[in-house]
Amino acid sequence: MSGRQRKVVCITELRQACRTCSLQELCLPMGLAAEDIQRLESIVGHKGPLERGRHLFREGDPFQSIYAVRDGALKTYSIDADGREHVLGFHLPGELLGLDAIYPRVNRCSAVALSNASVCVLPYDRLSDLAHEVSGLQSQIFRLLSKDLSISANLATDHTAEERLAGFLISIAARSGAGTELKLVMPRRDIASYLRLATETVSRLLARFQQEGYVEVHRKNLQLLNVEGLRRLGGSFELTGLASAIRRPLRG
Amino acid sequence: MSGRQRKVVCITELRQACRTCSLQELCLPMGLAAEDIQRLESIVGHKGPLERGRHLFREGDPFQSIYAVRDGALKTYSIDADGREHVLGFHLPGELLGLDAIYPRVNRCSAVALSNASVCVLPYDRLSDLAHEVSGLQSQIFRLLSKDLSISANLATDHTAEERLAGFLISIAARSGAGTELKLVMPRRDIASYLRLATETVSRLLARFQQEGYVEVHRKNLQLLNVEGLRRLGGSFELTGLASAIRRPLRG
DNA sequence: CGAGTACTTGACCCAGATCAAGCCATGTGG
DNA sequence: CCACATGGCTTGATCTGGGTCAAGTACTCG
């Protein structure tokens, strides 16, 4: 609503956001030539600041744009027939939202800010047109869609609560790129919903992980003390979509 | 290996396969002009017959092509660190396989024929090039990736065994497009793995569904007696990726 | 027709859900 | 600056859906 016109720097800042995280190759403008980035800049809009609790879009909205997080964090969720909320994903700086709406042309989930956030707005039709002309962009969109597919498929497999939570912590650490010290912006309830656990289970497991020396938790502040150990606990439960990326040391 | 050259009719036959199912809009060549279909034909290969139990590709293979099922059925699966198999999906005529390998450029799963099958081979680089030129093709690939994303995200949400199985039956019926009478080509063990249930649970539930008049099962043959009821049991658990498609009567 | 494999059915068990207090940080008004 | 409300978080006690183990049964194919 408010600052929808500061276009020139949006993609550039987005790249900046990607650089701070260890998974740079997941960034939309990754690998594009300077002039192509310029063209991408020319079609994107900017939205923000979006304060905590505000919605970026809602389930049922007609699909027009996908979004890239520049700053802050958002979650996507849907409400099922019984009125229960299911958290579908957390979106940190550099990551995309709204890809699952391309097919049905209607948003299948809602997106809300977990902290004050700002996003790039990528009008789908224009992005799609541009992807025709800029080869690297098309490939990158294919790759990003494909990546989300891997994550989601893995999330769908059968794992214990311990594996889920350990994998989740590793994933958040890798994606936030802040080394071993990180802030859990999302409440326990949302983590639980995302991992399909009860809030109490998340709480108990965090307590156990702490007791066993894997982490130090205090409220939203979390310090990883034994990343290798957590990774072992996580087993085959991976949420980054790229085994190799997570295998290299954090703070890459 | 064997008949890899009969190109001319492959895509055309693929469309045929799509027509027999009620979800035509999911077909790759959907909506393309005749001349574009011709161009698509020119890059695709053909592979088959692939007999039951034979692999189309294996986890770890370098990624080169995606595939479209022309005839028969396949499943994709991966083996986790503990050697346990996880079924990731079933692929019926008209559907694509291998999309999740685009990002990592390595196949993250294996694909095996559940019955004698034949597939179209779509070399990714060439497909990607062609998608630049043919606007409808790029969009369709975006849409298909997006659809798989929705399915996978939904599969990842939290549902009871009853909901899962009911949703699965509805989905298979809609996709195989054979009305209410259908054949479960995959063994119970695979259905169970896909839905993250024990084989015994699938067996018990099918018995219960029969007892309660929803279906008539005999081994691999299944007859849906009360589709509306099953849909109600399935609740919000949907595996077609498009609510509206499944809501319209089968045998569309 | 015998061996192997897929499926079914029953008995028991457990990871994690649910229910129920209590706790602790932050905010708000007096 | 304190009382006290509010909502997120933790911890304990109990319950249960569906997993596991075990023992058949019935196709299928050589």
The 10s digit of each residue's pLDDT in A226-247 is 999 999 999 888 887 544 433 3
> For the segment B7-24, what is each residue's pLDDT rounded down to a tens digit?
456 777 766 666 554 445
Contacts of A84 (CB under 8 A, 6+ apart): none
Contacts of A247 (CB under 8 A, 6+ apart): none
* Chain B neighbors of A153, CB-CB under 8 A: 88-89, 100, 152
pLDDT surpasses 70 at B134: yes
Contacts of B1 (CB under 8 A, 6+ apart): B47
Spatial distance between the Cα atoms of A52 and A54, rounded to a whole number of angstroms: 6
pLDDT surpasses 50 at B212: yes
What 8-state DSSP symbol labels residue B196? T
Token output for B33: 């002009």
Spatial distance between the Cα atoms of A87 and A64, rounded to a whole number of angstroms: 22
Count Cβ atoms below 10 Å from residue A81 Cβ, excluding itself. Answer: 10
What is the mean predicted confidence (pLDDT) over A101-107?
93
| Res. A102 pLDDT band, cuts 50 70 90 | very high
* Between A83 and B8, the higher pLDDT residue: A83
User: Radius of gyration (Cα) for chain B, nearest Å?
Assistant: 18
Among all chains, which residue has been given the structure tokens 């609503």? A1
User: Edge-to-edge strand order for the sheet containing B45-50?
Assistant: B45-50, B117-123, B65-71, B96-97
Q: Domain B161-245 is in which class?
A: mainly alpha
Residue B90: which region, alpha, beta or left (left: phi > 0; alpha: psi -120 to 50)? beta
Structure confidence at residue B246 (pLDDT): 35
Structure confidence at residue A20 (pLDDT): 52
What 8-state DSSP symbol labels residue B24? G
Token output for A149: 């597919």
Structural contact between residues A137 and A194, judged by C-beta atoms closer than 8 angstroms = no
CB B80 to CB A108 under 8 A? no
Distance from CA of A215 to the nearest CA of B (A): 24
What's the one-letter identity of residue A216? E
Structure confidence at residue A1 (pLDDT): 41
Structure confidence at residue B232 (pLDDT): 93
| Res. B211 pLDDT band, cuts 50 70 90 | very high
Structure confidence at residue B26 (pLDDT): 57
Name the residue among B138, B144, B152 with its Cβ closest to that of A132: B138
Best probe of the A interface among B145, B191, B195, B233, by most A CBs < 10 A, is B145
Among chain A residues, the shortest Cα distance to B89 is held by A153
Is the minimum distance from the CB of A201 to strand C below 7 Å?
A: yes
SS3 assignment, position B51: coil
* Chain B neighbors of A148, CB-CB under 8 A: 149
Is the minimum distance from the CB of B85 to strand D below 7 Å?
A: no
Residue B83: which region, alpha, beta or left (left: phi > 0; alpha: psi -120 to 50)? left
Structure confidence at residue A18 (pLDDT): 61
- Residues of chain A (193-212) having a beta carbon less than 7 angstroms from strand D: 199-200, 202-204, 206-207
The overall average pLDDT reported for chain A is: 86
> For the segment B140-180, what is each residue's pLDDT rounded down to a tens digit?
999 999 999 988 988 888 899 999 999 999 999 998 877 89
Contacts of A27 (CB under 8 A, 6+ apart): A14, A15, A17, A18, A94
> For the segment A14-57, what is each residue's pLDDT rounded down to a tens digit?
666 665 544 455 578 778 888 999 899 999 999 978 999 999 99
- Residues of chain B (170-229) having a beta carbon less than 7 angstroms from strand D: 196-198, 200-201, 219
Nucleotide nearest to A199 (CA to C1'): D9
The overall average pLDDT reported for chain B is: 86
Distance from CA of B240 to the nearest CA of A (A): 11
Is the minimum distance from the CB of B161 to strand D below 7 Å?
A: yes
- Residue-range domain boundaries for chain A: 3-155, 161-245
Structure confidence at residue A4 (pLDDT): 43
What is the mean predicted confidence (pLDDT) over A113-136?
94
Structural contact between residues B199 and B188, judged by C-beta atoms closer than 8 angstroms = yes
Count Cβ atoms below 10 Å from residue B112 Cβ, excluding itself. Answer: 17
Identify the CATH number of the domain defined by range A3-155.
2.60.120.10
Handedness of CA B160, B161, B162, B167 (dihedral sign): positive
Interface residues of chain A, partner chain B, Cβ below 8 Å? 80-82, 86, 88, 99-104, 108, 128, 131-133, 135, 138-139, 141-150, 152-153, 155-158, 196, 235-236, 241-244
Among chain B residues, the shortest Cα distance to A159 is held by B196
Structure confidence at residue B25 (pLDDT): 55
Is the minimum distance from the CB of A197 to strand C below 7 Å?
A: yes
> For the segment B85-125, what is each residue's pLDDT rounded down to a tens digit?
999 999 999 899 999 999 999 999 999 999 999 999 999 99
% of chain A residues with pLDDT over 70: 86
Q: How far apart are the first and last CA of chain B?
A: 36
| Res. A9 pLDDT band, cuts 50 70 90 | low
Question: pTM value?
Answer: 0.88
Structure confidence at residue B92 (pLDDT): 93
